[in-house]
Structure 1
């Protein structure tokens, strides 16, 4: 089952309970409040804090470091490695020289054996890490002394260096526990800029600065991630000064800018609104194990019945772009000519030709099957709710009834094989990172991987070719094939790519954003580099 970073467990009541726990010492502007503490609101929460189970695999994990890290421009830079890797001429050997003098937060020295332990454990069949297929290219990993690690690959996997932002776990702790259920999953020890101070699941994660961090002790001494699932509640807590920052949907975030007098400013300063470009898309899964969505004609019709431009303009207030697949249209990996315009007449014609005839109430029927299916979205997520309702409205105009349903992931997961879901995904590092898990037929129904049970042999071959080739031209041609096949045989209807918007109390310097993936929580937003923030001079 795939890893997931969000569960629908935090609503208004839970958020209220959370705030009483975090505001006493950290409310901006409160009497006696700490000036070196930051509290931010997020909609997501990890299931585990162990990198062996998938936590922090894309970097910025705060508790841990990888061999490499990303800078503000998403370029790789050294972290636990002292330099970028040496790569053999055939692209199958990567050699990393490790940074000297690094220690874990418990004082134990970091060495090559910890790197070998981390990667070998993730690849172990007994480890419940659903992302391990991302490391399929590794044939072996070995330590050469205390300060050198060598990876040998089965084939020249072009984006392998990007995979080495994966956090490194300490063998002397995690290696003595059950990898799937040991204390390390909730009480981690790493080399990162912060140490976990406490975790109240469904409420908050608290961190304190690591005084022995190899990059220097952070100026932000206490950092709290408040888990507030409901968008409106998060905005309310932000306005009241109980949070220093939060991710918000566009209509709520822009409200802080439009009418600051009515909404109020934080007691200690003004609001800053930060936009992050992303690869984060929203799509509708169309399971093949359903009598309606399993029909290719229905999928083709829905793919052009939706008005993506209207969704960007009305739902996102321009903070995004239409999505025609997992790759944004402004990416060099995007295949020109695969854009799909809104064409309701064509959608109706496709359904007519496939034998889906309109009934008395306007909903189509074929062979006694009514063109109707449920669409689930996570409760409290306004962006998903709005997308689900808009999709249902557009579908109805084509004669397809989409019944929107809200629920937590615990409610939704058992229904994913046959029911459509307003889902999301996207990774900026490399097209393999998202498309392989999303579309490969062998991963159909593997939790949140390939939720549509998509099965297209041309796509399978192209994904495998792109994964195994080190030639950029070959890889581009393969991903072109994937995107063209998604036009002919859509397993998903991609709706929009969303720009993430954050509102932050403007009392710190050094705030920036990166190009972000779908899973944006602890390591994303302006706090992706909170360890580098400095207080503004008064």
Structure 2
């Protein structure tokens, strides 16, 4: 299928003009400076955006991963988790219900306080006790009890077998915290983070937002990570255009989440002197979600009709071009267990098919819907994407759709409260396993806080999928789950994306600095070619 040619706006083109080359560093301190469009805001509804018991978005995790240590981590290039704060970890039974870790000797927090097995127990039990409505606790909800033996040994006893548990221990939700710095039953408000990770951090604020986070090498750190720098700054920009301007002016060394499609297109077709564009493997997906209790979409026929009308190919071509591709299931095509469940169920986009679905359900009037999206969280293409979705649905003659864009700090709390009938979200996996494209949307205490419950999925299929240490063997179970999702349509997958990083050509380690889960690994960055 031919893609439409996108005309590059003059502003975007100007951002990527040839660099003014200078000999100085981006920052007078010599720090490596990374730009992001992620916004970090403390609000009345979300006063603790960087508390591991609450934080459940890629931006917040990209701060926590630098500062809060986990027992395991996913190594450079991907693969199964390996010990990080732990010296060793593994299942101690064949049923994958008991998981034992031994801490490294001599671990301490950045302030010099020793890290013990009791700190690990405290940190995990704290997440489960607070049980934030942000969905974080769901990752650890299968833990029954945590047992310690001396200063260094921890055993996690699980309620049911879970071969994915090592991945969950590698996420910031399982970050090791100090009992002297964090309350056992209350979130820590503000932007302070204390841990035993590779960096200590200091935040510079702009009102209720973070303007910059300064990461400095933690001299107390002991773990599996090798740091290739002593200082990194993460600067937050209002949009991709101003971030690109900073790269052009050499005030930052690298930009990543979220570059605009126009910037990627320009750097791909007309490379710029002094800037290198790197594509790295990515597993991001975008989707529509439905509040299945909302009157407008409570009837599954309405959701099925939307699924029958949406033209993913046109959406991708018109908005994202070669940086994305259509997605027909929750599990992306590069992950084991992927299927084309929605294409199998609905085929090519068809207004006639959608009309038949509605008529069969006794729905004869035009369906009025408001599509809600966040206008400052996923990049500049989101508004155009939702305009395209609106136009597709309205062109069918079956829907009367309006749009509502809202900033993330207000969008997410309203979505969790169930105020939106239909809304758009993106998902960057916590770990690269099909379980993490299913459980966060369908299991108990899920990320969406959805009223949708399918007992076969929740009580039988998800637990069954976790019993297989060989994840390929679980593919048939994920196939069943995806068929159910395509039938009930609590969520509607739209596309999966690619990841890009643009950086100055004197920066090394760029190809390793962003993994498939969109985690920034700032320790991989260094000066020169080493």
- 1:378 aligns to 2:374 (yes or no): yes
CA distance in 2, matches of 1:537, 1:338: 46
CA contact (8 A) 2:368 2:400 kept: yes
Aligned to 1:208: 216
CA distance in 2, matches of 1:165, 1:484: 30
Aligned to 1:3: none
CA contact (8 A) 1:127 1:179 kept: no
- 1:38 aligns to 2:44 (yes or no): no
1:403 is paired with a residue whose SS is strand
2:66 is paired with a residue whose SS is coil
Q: Which runs of 5+ in 1 are unaligned?
A: 1-26, 358-364
Residues 291 and 212 (structure 1 numbering): CA distance in 2 closer, same or farther, change over 3 Å?
A: closer
Aligned to 1:180: 186
Q: Any idea what the Cα deviations from partners look like across 1:42-66, whole Å, max 9, x if unmatched?
A: 3243753332434677997100211
CA contact (8 A) 2:335 2:433 kept: no
CA distance in 2, matches of 1:483, 1:303: 14
CA contact (8 A) 1:207 1:224 kept: yes
- 1:282 aligns to 2:280 (yes or no): no
1:104 is paired with a residue whose SS is coil
Q: Any idea what the Cα deviations from partners look like across 1:333-366, whole Å, max 9, x if unmatched?
A: 1135653576343x32331453399xxxxxxx94
Aligned to 1:254: 265
For 1:86-485, list aligned pairs within 5 A. 86-125=91-130, 130-167=135-172, 168-175=175-182, 177=183, 179-182=185-188, 186-200=191-205, 201-215=209-223, 218-247=227-256, 248-260=259-271, 270-335=274-339, 338-339=342-343, 343-345=348-350, 347-352=351-356, 354-355=358-359, 366=363, 369-380=365-376, 381-399=379-397, 400-412=399-411, 413-414=413-414, 416-427=418-429, 428-440=431-443, 443=445, 448-451=447-450, 453-466=451-464, 469-470=467-468, 472=470, 475-485=474-484
CA distance in 2, matches of 1:396, 1:323: 22
Residues 90 and 366 (structure 1 numbering): CA distance in 2 closer, same or farther, change over 3 Å?
A: closer
CA contact (8 A) 1:52 1:169 kept: no
Tell me the CA shift for residue 483 of structure 1.
0.5
Residues 278 and 257 (structure 1 numbering): CA distance in 2 closer, same or farther, change over 3 Å?
A: closer
CA contact (8 A) 1:439 1:450 kept: no
Tell me the CA shift for residue 79 of structure 1.
0.5
Q: Any idea what the Cα deviations from partners look like across 1:408-443, whole Å, max 9, x if unmatched?
A: 134434364343212122424333333222124x54
Tell me the CA shift for residue 327 of structure 1.
0.2
Tell me the CA shift for residue 106 of structure 1.
0.5
Tell me the CA shift for residue 497 of structure 1.
0.6
CA contact (8 A) 1:74 1:515 kept: yes
1:354 is paired with a residue whose SS is helix
CA distance in 1, matches of 2:380, 2:287: 15
Q: Which runs of 5+ in 2 are unaligned?
A: 1-21, 42-47
Tell me the CA shift for residue 131 of structure 1.
1.4
Aligned to 1:48: 49
CA contact (8 A) 1:91 1:470 kept: no
Residues 281 and 44 (structure 1 numbering): CA distance in 2 closer, same or farther, change over 3 Å?
A: farther
CA distance in 2, matches of 1:205, 1:315: 32
Residues 489 and 149 (structure 1 numbering): CA distance in 2 closer, same or farther, change over 3 Å?
A: same
Tell me the CA shift for residue 537 of structure 1.
5.2
CA distance in 2, matches of 1:153, 1:114: 19
1:62 is paired with a residue whose SS is helix
CA distance in 2, matches of 1:156, 1:366: 44
Q: When the two structures are superposed, what TM-score results if normalisation uses the length of structure 2?
A: 0.81
Structural RMSD (CA):
3.2
CA distance in 2, matches of 1:207, 1:131: 25
CA contact (8 A) 2:54 2:187 kept: no
Aligned to 1:531: 523
Q: Any idea what the Cα deviations from partners look like across 1:281-336, whole Å, max 9, x if unmatched?
A: 11112332344433322322221322212333332221222111220123221135
Tell me the CA shift for residue 246 of structure 1.
1.5
Aligned residues: 481
Residues 454 and 437 (structure 1 numbering): CA distance in 2 closer, same or farther, change over 3 Å?
A: same
Q: Any idea what the Cα deviations from partners look like across 1:68-104, whole Å, max 9, x if unmatched?
A: 1111232211101113424322322111121112221
Residues 172 and 87 (structure 1 numbering): CA distance in 2 closer, same or farther, change over 3 Å?
A: same
CA distance in 2, matches of 1:344, 1:433: 28
Mean CA deviation greater in 113-122 or 466-475? 466-475
CA distance in 2, matches of 1:373, 1:314: 22
CA distance in 1, matches of 2:329, 2:69: 32
